[in-house]
Amino acid sequence: MYNGKVYVPPLKIQGIKTKLVPLITENVIRDNSTLWVEPFMGSGVVGLNIASKKAIFADINPHIINFYNDLKCKKITSTSVYAYLNEQGALLSEQGAEHYYYIRERFNEYNDPLDFLFLNRSCFNGMMRFNKKNGFNVPFCHKPQRFAKAYITKIVNQIRFFEAKLESNEWYFLNQSFEDTITLADSNSFIYCDPPYIGRHVDYFDSWDEERENLLKCCLQKTNSKFMLSTWDYNEYRKNPYIDSLWGDCNKVSHEHFYFVGAKEKNRGSMTEALLTNYRVPMKAKSLIQNKI
């Protein structure tokens, strides 16, 4: 469980919740007997830091799940990652974009998880985006020296921390829909949902729209579990209308957060995040609470 330090996972994904882990932790209700259920794993940063000993992580992106399952079964290790990134980093340094696009083409044909890690850590702006054929299509970051020794060490240390978590916990990684994942929860489960943010531009493995947002709410309402949903509340231009129209029976905690994702500086800025729950949050977060919005 969370010990006050936030550990960053090896995969980078836009919208990663690293800076929000302390706030989420303050408002989660669970203990070590609770089954942690996360239908939208993404990078896994929230669960990696605060999940219980038993957890189910799921995502519709098979490459994320394959990567973490390979870590779990030790097909990928910190040692193999170190050797791979040193070798491929040297080739990237020599050949630049040519080698990046070679790896991208190879990954799209064979879906090797190590190639996925390489692309994820050397693509433009740390994005994870796929075309209609589910091919990774993010361009090169134009940094041939990307995999310097210090950077490789940083990634390897992230892998090592995750290896230790897998040794001491009973965690499962499933490539499936959020509907199927939520049905696995019971009264002793805690469901944390971080779906693509509706009404905002998202580059995800699949699209997200009003129909899916409604379906997610219906699935959560059918459970006997406590749940928390991360979404956006408002920015300087507009407000998320679904918080009132769809999630209005939830409790809300708001927090301003700055995002760096975006090719242009004007697309990067602060946004107020919302944590929506079907329970009253702990009193220590009282100053941030807006009940029954």
Q: Which CATH superfamily is domain 78-159 in?
A: Adenine-specific Methyltransferase, Domain 2 (1.10.1020.10)
On the question of pLDDT at 140 being above 60, the answer is: yes
pLDDT of residue 197: 87
Q: Would you place residue 240 in the very low, low, confident or very high pLDDT band (cuts 50, 70, 90)?
A: very high
Pair 81, 90: CB distance under 8 Å? no
Residue 23 pLDDT: 93
- Burial class for 129, CB neighbours closer than 10 Å (0-12, 13-18, 19+): middle
* Residue 237: predicted pLDDT: 82
pLDDT digits 0-9 by tens, 100-116: 999 999 999 999 999 99
Comma-separated ranges of CATH 3.40.50.150 domains in the chain: 18-60+176-285
Q: Are strands 170-175 and 189-193 parallel, antiparallel or unpaired?
A: unpaired
The token pair that represents 293 in the structure block: 């919005």
Which CATH number does 18-60+176-285 carry?
A: 3.40.50.150
The whole-angstrom separation of Cα 235 and Cα 221 is: 28
Q: pTM here? A: 0.89
Q: Which residue has the tokens 């219980």?
A: 52
- Residues 155-180 have pLDDT tens digits of 999 999 999 999 999 999 999 999 99
At 201, the pLDDT band (50, 70, 90 cuts) reads: low
pLDDT of residue 125: 87
- CATH 1.10.1020.10 location in the chain: 78-159
Is the pLDDT score of 53 beyond 90?
yes
Closest CA to 276 of 205, 209, 224, 226: 226
Report how far apart, in Å, the C-alpha atoms of 278 and of each of 65, 98, 251, 253, 256 are.
28, 50, 6, 12, 21
Predicted confidence (pLDDT) at residue 7 exceeds the cutoff of 60: yes
